Amino acid sequence: DTAVSQTPKYLVTQMGNDKSIKCEQNLGHDTMYWYKQDSKKFLKIMFSYNNKELIINETVPNRFSPKSPDKAHLNLHINSLELGDSAVYFCASSPVTSGTSGSMYEQYFGPGTRLTVT
Amino acid sequence: SQQGEEDPQALSIQEGENATMNCSYKTSINNLQWYRQNSGRGLVHLILIRSNEREKHSGRLRVTLDTSKKSSSLLITASRAADTASYFCATVRGSNYKLTFGKGTLLTVNP
């Protein structure tokens, strides 16, 4: 009964290849995210989808393309992989609770996918 | 750009002691959240404090928020070896969905 799952857990590939990471959540949440955590553990948001619509697109190379076939899935496709893409990629999801001061929510993270580009 | 900045970067204490971690941020926020990350795992949400709240408790956790100083602290009382992890603060600005994380504090609790 995993809440947010990602596959694969580890991904080792060569420069120039294209790869995909899949994410699924069974929490019934409307919003999903992709984060990148670098070797210094710094976490940065890449994309966010709300009910299959892109709502956050940070300054990410266009080699990265998210795809949300339905609100329970958010996949990340990466073209022409580079050494600097090596990192841990986390998927997350959240409910959206409207409070008196705007959106209040917590995020539920998947276990991460460690991508190593050689 | 990075919003939160935790200090210390690393903290080592003995089991049973209290651990305090601080987080400073740069701009006004809607809410601030603390997350824990065990080694090799995903992040786990600990506590959320809204901008109009000053203090919140959850079990052995106590979070304070001082919006005038743009800072927050996380106190873990009576620490256990299982509390060993990295702790991150994250801020939400306005009504968007984006969490902006700090660099984290690595807490080591020695048995």
Q: What is the pLDDT of residues A10-47, one digit of tens each?
A: 999 999 999 999 999 999 998 899 999 999 899 999 99
pLDDT in tens, A47-92: 988 888 888 888 789 999 999 999 899 999 999 999 999 999 999 9
- The chain A residue lying nearest B42, using CA atoms, is A111
The chain-wide mean pLDDT, for chain B, equals 92
Taking CB atoms and an 8 Å cut-off, how many pairs form between chains A and B?
71
Question: What's the pLDDT band for B86 if we cut at 50, 70, 90?
Answer: very high
Q: Looking at residue A95, what is its pLDDT?
A: 85
- CA–CA distance, B67 with A78 (Å, rounded to integer): 39
Q: Does B97 touch chain A (CB under 8 A)?
A: yes
pLDDT above 50 for A99 = no
Residues of chain A in contact with residue B31, where contact means CB-CB under 8 angstroms, are 101, 104
Nearest chain A residue to B34, by CA: A106
Question: In B, which residues are within 8 Å of A33 by CB distance?
Answer: 97
The minimum CA-CA distance between B54 and chain A, rounded to whole Å, is 15
A90–B103 CB contact, under 8 Å: no
Better-scored residue on pLDDT, B57 or B2: B57
